[in-house]
Amino acid sequence: MRKRRALAWLLCAALLAGCQGGSGPKAADPISQESLSQDLRDALEEEWEAWNALSEEAQVVSSHMPGWCQRGFEDWAAGEAFLGFPVPNPLEDSDWLEKGTYVAMPLGFQEAPRVDIQWYGTEEGYVDWVSAGAGYRSGPTRVMLSAHLYGDPAKARLSDRDWTLDLGKQETDGVLHVIPEDTKRYCSRTAYLIWDGVLYQVHIVGEPGEKTEVEEILERALEAFSEEPE
């Protein structure tokens, strides 16, 4: 019962933050371009070289967005090393979660990586956004965490059409928004929060009719963000 009251308070706080636009002292920090690793910069340059090597006809029919890059890693630390800077992830060493692929399927499923890093950058080398994701399991319930970082909003190209960028701009620290979804196929809860200057998305997916379990797992996952990042 206490857990349910705590979750109800959490959901109310999230809705109030969304309605009021937030009143706290902190928003998501922009990416420091200087901190990005040379490996990431080289991968972005190779992406644009490959795109420019295509014929004009091939570019027109391609479904690929030029400047969009993706890499998989075996653990969160390896992903951080590739980025060039730390991104706190309080779920990575949780003793109550089993590590899974980045979409929270069992390890080895379709050879998917544990950690997924995606980013977009311009041909001039400016990185507009970075997203780092990892997956976990609590029994059959899937737990997915994504960390979203953005460059200077004044220089944003594609990400200025992404609604999560608007969340990241809000002057608040903590849970911003919780999205519930209940269908015949699954039950899910998705929370967005700012922690240590990063916009996080925590996505919990369970079986249909398991609303209570999904909400309790979300609450437990969010509790990990109440501690100071290392």
> For residue range 171-228, what is the model confidence (pLDDT) as tens digits?
666 788 899 999 999 999 999 999 988 999 999 999 999 999 999 999 999 999 987 6
pLDDT digits (tens, 9 = 90+) for 56-102: 999 999 999 999 999 999 999 999 999 999 999 999 999 999 999 99
Could you tell me where the DSSP H helices lie in the chain?
2-20, 38-52, 56-61, 76-83, 163-169, 211-223
**Model confidence pTM above 0.85:** no
Calculate Rg over the CA atoms of the chain: 18
Show the tokens assigned to 68: 């969009």
Write the pLDDT tens digit of every residue in 18-50. Answer: 333 333 334 678 889 999 999 999 999 999 999
**What is the C-alpha to C-alpha distance for residues 225 and 174, in angstroms, rounded to an integer?**
9
Tens of pLDDT along 156-166? 555 444 556 56
Helical (H) or strand (E) element with 200: strand 198-206
